[in-house]
Amino acid sequence: MPEALPALPLAAWKDTCATLHLWTQIVGHVRMALAPPVNHWWHVPLYVTSRGLGTSPVPDGRGGAFEIDFDFVDHNLRVQTSDGATRWIALVPRSVADFHAEVLRVLAAAGVSVTIHGSPDEVPDPIPFAEDRVHASYDAEWAARFWRVLLWVDGVFKEFRGRFVGKCSPVHFFWGSFDLAVTRFSGRRAPARPGADPITREAYSHEVVSAGFWPGGGDVGAAFYSYTAPAPPGLERAPVRPAPAAWHAGLSEFVLPWEAVRTAPAPRTALLEFLESTYAAGATLAGWDRAALERPPSG
């Protein structure tokens, strides 16, 4: 019998969540500073691993590479270089300022020279990393629980991704918005967004249907989401499945609570229903060439 999926009430681990969000931003900024640019900011996310979250190999500027991995089993940050060196930083309650200094110190000791943007992105009232002694929580049990959820979601998202033969993103973890996401593309350019910042302009340069998982915030707990950009008229009225899924007017996207999925009789089936039905709603209303983009059902 498969292991029961864990609950993830944000109120129970919000301080750890906020600190971990900022720690992942520091590591993500390192990757962003050194990795060659890729369309739609695909050079900046982290990836779910068998023990946590990691960067994948990043060029070190000297002809080699390194990786940085959050290990939520043994609770350390591991820096490995292509010259065979490995260094660790303990994941324990410590301030963002201390974590930031230690990451840069360990990278320098490994021969990696990097200068990163000094403040977090996509968070309200950002505090520069080097000055943030407000966020300093780390509960190992909750960090591990979050990773176990991500690991399960990552597997279902990859199954969903494999059903599409058009352009599609990897399943990747965006440290700015702190969510795991996968994005399908119609192949057509999207209308320019007047006044859009450079991040938004590049991310939404083409038509997309994107789905993801987020630990929550505001009036939304841990949940799956799906949106179409540009949003076609009538999307908010489209029927989607399973029954707990609904349009969230404030977010302008479909939302399905994690609790509804994990307690469903068949959680994988419930999540795939959400992913498929919300994609079908957006792609159909937006006039995508679905026959050319989707893999025919096997069997």
Residues of the chain with pLDDT under 50: 1, 299
What was the pLDDT predicted at 4? Answer: 87
How far apart CA 299 and CA 296 sit, in angstroms, is 9
What was the pLDDT predicted at 5? Answer: 97
pLDDT in tens, 138-197: 999 999 999 999 999 999 999 999 999 999 999 999 999 999 999 999 999 999 888 888
What was the pLDDT predicted at 196? Answer: 86
Mean pLDDT of all residues belonging to the chain: 96
How far apart CA 230 and CA 206 sit, in angstroms, is 9
What was the pLDDT predicted at 195? Answer: 86
Instruction: Please report, for residues 9, 107, 118, the alpha-carbon distance to residue 101 in angstroms, rounded to integers and kept in the order given.
Output: 31, 10, 11
Say what the pTM is: 0.96
What was the pLDDT predicted at 298? Answer: 64
What is the chain written as a DSSP string?
Answer: -PPPPPP--HHHHHHHHHHHHHHHHHHHHHHHHHSPP-GGGTTS-BEE-SSEEE---EE-SSS-EEEEEEETTTTEEEEEETTS-EEEEE-SS--HHHHHHHHHHHHHHTT------SS-SSSSS---GGG--S-----HHHHHHHHHHHHHHHHHHHHHHTTB-S-B---EEETTTTEEEEEEEEEEEPPP-TT--HHHHHHTSEEEEEEEEE--BTTB-SEEEEEEESPPTTGGGS--SSTT-EEETTTTEEEEEHHHHHTSSSHHHHHHHHHHHHHHHHHHHTT--HHHHBPPPP-
Which two structure tokens, joined as six digits, stand for 234? 């009538």
Residue 248 burial class via C-beta count within 10 angstroms: exposed 0-12, middle 13-18, buried 19 and up: middle
pLDDT in tens, 109-136: 999 999 999 999 999 999 999 999 999 9
What was the pLDDT predicted at 3? Answer: 58
What was the pLDDT predicted at 218? Answer: 86
Residue in the structure block whose two tokens are 């991040």: 199
